[in-house]
Structure 1
């Protein structure tokens, strides 16, 4: 599973563990208030002889545009309340929306619109107005629920706008709720490239998971957070801590991962990362080798990027291609390793070898965008229009368009002679096979 997918799963498991049974949730729903119309004021008869007729007071100065808008917003809000009390919820919503347009600084109006949108099942509108509401004031429980919806949809940046505005008093009650909130925040901070904030939240979760923590975490919630791969969960915590520069805490998380799910190769990679962060370059290089010996690809390009960085730091960058060739010969089915070798050859200007490796990768199932980009770069440098046409055709056949290769197409268009040659090859191919 990709790292992003793993982070997305953490908070979802924990939230499910906290949910009460459906019957209990239904009984806990508050009854809707039946608001009644206020009693009408007693009718007043004509003025007596002793009463002077009522005359309007002349205004001292004209109203400003802002004051007029606010008065109109209040009138529209009142009209909306009457419609709502009469059970005409959709018309009430229209009045409230018009009122907010007149007074766009009213957090009360925005929250009321969210409530009606939720009641009417208009989720997208509820989300849009929830974002407006939290920009105007603190979030309440309803807005926090909208944040949950956004998180479940994968709209993490928007969800964070709401979560960060939830007042502390709304989450102080249950230690379990605080842990789940920290987990959700940590997940979203990591997925929005904010590792420092993610690290702070994951430290809260790690403290709660500690076996000596008081009060101890509820067993169902603990199991939900750790999931089926408790070692991988701690490794994700360690990733965030390391990215935030919290090296000691990251090492502690990686040690916990190894203790819960022993995997020598993965642990070697993680310890090499820690040593690299401490600038212990030779030790990191030596620590990394057991990962390669296990012939695994579960950590993608990361180990090979680390190898490149360590060799560069040791003044041995020219050894990278040779080292990767040896690893590839020993583990030819390892796709991240093969891609790393192809990219290293391209970076070294070894065009024929790079082309060979990237072409082999292109022939595998589900080639990535980076493979198309690399091949187009190589063929443009070597002025090979037929090969450029082949790669473009392959990409169009898989995706239906070439939108993702916009940058490469712009570079091709800038080389008028090569672009004309590609067009000529395309016309010739069409004449030979119009279908």
Structure 2
């Protein structure tokens, strides 16, 4: 087990029991910035990239996160001091010249990088928006939505009321051009508000609950505003245009092959070159791919890597074994069972969506036969008594695209299906 040498600690684990078809995973620290406290918190660990695994004979995206007892805690967690780095052999002349050429490219890209967001920039956003009111309404909406004693009607109406109160202030917010960018914590907060509002609206539609029109107006406004922030970020970083969905997926697949594939280093370097030359990627990403290429070359000649021990190594191994079991149970349950389950859970929504689109009705059986698993995410959480609780999130899509691009979502908690709904 070792770690990468970038700013984020990354550890590789070889799996005693394969998870689907993968025998090795790379994990990194799972952190989150809390806008309320302007502080970074440590939640545990997560896969450093999405993996492609085979479930029910199909390739699906796969990721997981692991939470030790008592999360979240202050960041960073306590990590033992790294072992002293051993001497390494120098690079052969040809490789040294190659590495130097990559360093020149990195320098050129860095020279054209705009100023990256810092704490001072993040605070500037609140000069244009009442931070306390924004946070209060968001927290009240979250409390209303998480109220386990309330029925769906109450949850939708109360959450939507608080969310709708955020609209006037957001509409009155006129950010200067230098703040219209999508690489800030503020842009991430807006994206989460948008996702939250969409979930409330979709559940209301599913249950035929009337909501104030301001909620939909909020969704439309934030959707447009974040699009403009993305455009501003692309302009700032010199990105020619937004990727298409196919281009984005192809880039992610190439990323996985280049960084975590088992092909020869020479082939992986070619893949990395394709990525760092892609002008549709941000310069920051392109720099990272160049640095990864340098690391690959050096790795060939390194006798020993510097090792930063993982603070929860044994716990992670325990959770990886549990994740293997959960995925195996899912595989054993079978695609047919899950297709039927999703078709029955989405039957009412299917009728209304197809009627609205002028499409003929589908039987549950026909609909089920068109449903495919797209991605899978597992969250595990250690309890004080040593038990591991888990959540399994499954994302499905039907081949007829009956829901106009919306993804079907299922949540399983500790072997019990808790939710089947549409995602934005």
Q: TM-score, normalised by structure 1?
A: 0.25
- Higher-Rg structure is 1
Higher relative contact order (CA 8 A, sep 6+): 2
Question: Which structure: greater helix fraction?
Answer: 1
